[in-house]
Amino acid sequence: MKIANVDNDATKIATREAAQGRIDQIEIFERELEQLRTDRVIHLTDSQVTAIDSYHRHIIHELTARYDADASESGRQLSMSMRIVSLIGALLLGSSVFVFFYHFWAAFNVATQTLLLCAAPTSTYALALVVRARDRTGYFSRLSAALCYASFVLTVVILPPLWDINLGSTSVLSCTAFGFILAYEMRSRLQLCAALIGVLIYGATLITILEGAPWWFFFERPENFYLGVSILLVVPSLISQRHYADFETLYRLFGIIILLGIFLILATWPSLSYLDYGAHTVSAGYKIVVLTAGAAGIYFGVTRRLPETSFVSSLSLLMLIGLEACDWLLPKLPAYQFFLIMSVLAICALYVLKVLRGRVTEHAARAAQ
């Protein structure tokens, strides 16, 4: 029997995550097809069933061979365990490198120390590249990437004081750039998280330096993080991330969490703001901003099907309402009345979300028709 376009279908897939998604889709289709046949909704001849089955078996075989994707539930559970072990292993490996260096460090002279510090990221990066070329699962390449990143950060932290040099915010910039390289090279979400945190910090240090303050006071003013947040929110729309599973979501998630976090912090502690219009005005202004941004985030998340955006936005709104309630009601009311009012507020919030969910479902049903 001729199996049409199997190779074509499998070669369209570029990542292990996409391959796993395709296999999951086939499994769901097979279960639904079985149900439809049992309920006698459709009738397929044996040859048709065999053709579909062979087609799917070929795709599954191709994808498991090429990307080591899991074709069974037990395999998927083991993969999850491997992912957790890979993360823990990465942390342990990074720690072991640090402790090893720390324990024996002073036994070496400066030249040997410098050589070791430079050899560590170079060799681990080369190792990570070799492992990536041979590792179909990606677990070992991510593990080696984490080891490489730990070595690089160690070098950036230890080498400057060894030579009595202050790198300043360049250390953050170099760690961020290297984090991005490893993230895209190894398709590692962990490295991307490190790089995104680096973008936020480095953006904040640039604003801090412009203000005339030393770079390490970047955390003094939450508004310093606006530059980094803007970059995180804009980059995915400028540079496509579709070949990298979850990367776009991570950019958006980091951007929105930090943005709404800044708004909430400044609404609560307005003295941290650059705006010099009085604490009350700044606080009120930022509360309005949280309400507007939260509502916009929920709408945007629901309409664009970005669940993490709507989740974070609704969480920020609830936090604002909770903080305001604590601020206004807690000093004035006895505890039982306060908690009663808070529970009523929670029920109201639940009702609003239920109405919203109903409208979204209705909208989706209409779109399907």
Partner 1 sequence: MKLQRLWLPTFGFAIVLVICAGIPLASVYNRGTSESTLRLSDRELELPPGQEQGDQENAPLTLHLLWRVETADHVGSATADASSTRAAWITRSKLAELGIPSGIRPNTFVSTYLVLELDRRAHARAVLRACNLASPSRDAGTCEFEIKKSSRLYVVDAGRTVAELRGQYPDRAHYAIVSGVIKLSRDLSPGEPEGYVSSLSVDTVQGLEPLRSAIDPTTGKMLWRRLQAGQYFDAMISFGRRLEPWNLSVVGRESEVVSPVETPQEGLERGFSFSPQ
Scanning 53-61, 152-160, 260-268, 338-346 for contacts with partner 1 by CB under 8 A, the matching segment is 152-160
Looking at 76-84, 170-178, 297-305, 311-319, which segment touches partner 1 (CB under 8 A)? 170-178
Choose, by CB under 8 A, the member of 166, 280, 334, 336 that binds partner 1: 166
- 3-state SS of the chain is CCCCCHHHHHHCCCCHHHHHHHHHHHHHHHHHHHHHHHCCCCCCCHHHHHHHHHHHHHHHHHHHHHHCCCCCHHHHHHHHHHHHHHHHHHHHHHHHHHHHHHHHHHHCCHHHHHHHHHHHHHHHHHHHHHHHHHCCCCHHHHHHHHHHHHHHHHHHHHHHHHCCCCCCCHHHHHHHHHHHHHHHHHCCHHHHHHHHHHHHHHHHHHHHHHCCCCHHHHHHCHHHHHHHHHHHHHHHHHCCCCCCCCHHHHHHHHHHHHHHHHHHHHHHCHHHCCCCCCHHHHHHHHHHHHHHHHHHHHHHHHHCCCHHHHHHHHHHHHHHHHHHHHHHHCCCCCHHHHHHHHHHHHHHHHHHHHHHHHHHHHHHHHHHC
Regarding 265 and contact with partner 1 (CB under 8 A), the answer is: no
Least CB distance from residue 167 to partner 1, whole Å?
7
Q: How far apart are CA 123 and CA 337, in angstroms?
A: 64
The pattern of x and - marking residues 44 through 83 that bind partner 1 according to CB under 8 A reads ----------------------------------------
Q: Which is nearer to partner 1, 167 or 319 (CB)?
A: 167
Query: What is the per-residue binding string for partner 1 in 101-120, x denoting contact by CB under 8 A?
Result: -xxxxxx------x--xx--
Q: Is residue 51 a contact partner of residue 2, using CB atoms and an 8 Å limit?
A: no
Q: Show the binding pattern over residues 213-242: x = contacts partner 1 (CB under 8 A), - = does not.
A: xx--x--x----------------------
Q: How far is the CB of 39 from partner 1 (least distance, A)?
A: 50
Any contact of residue 275 with partner 1 (CB under 8 A)?
Answer: no
Q: Decide if residue 14 touches partner 1 (CB under 8 A).
A: no
* Least distance from partner 1 to the Cβ atom of residue 125, Å: 6
Task: Select from 14, 177, 318, 360 the one that contacts partner 1 (CB under 8 A).
Answer: 177
Residue 307 beta carbon to partner 1: minimum distance, rounded to whole angstroms: 31
29 touches partner 1 (CB under 8 A): no
Q: Binding partner 1 by CB under 8 A: which of 52, 129, 265, 333?
A: 129
Tokens 């950019």 found at? 251
Shortest Cβ 171–partner 1 spacing (Å) = 9
Tell me how far apart the alpha carbons of residues 142 and 192 are, in angstroms, rounded to a whole number: 11
Q: How far is the CB of 177 from partner 1 (least distance, A)?
A: 6
Cβ count within 10 A of residue 11? 10
**Binders of partner 1: how many residues, by CB under 8 A?**
40
C-beta of 64 vs 113, nearer to partner 1:
113
283 binds partner 1 (CB under 8 A): no
- When binding is defined by CB under 8 A, the residue of 56, 64, 139, 178 that contacts partner 1 is 178
Binding site for partner 1 (CB under 8 A): 102-107, 114, 117-118, 121-122, 125, 129, 152, 155-156, 159-167, 174, 177-178, 181-182, 184-185, 209, 212-214, 217, 220, 271, 276
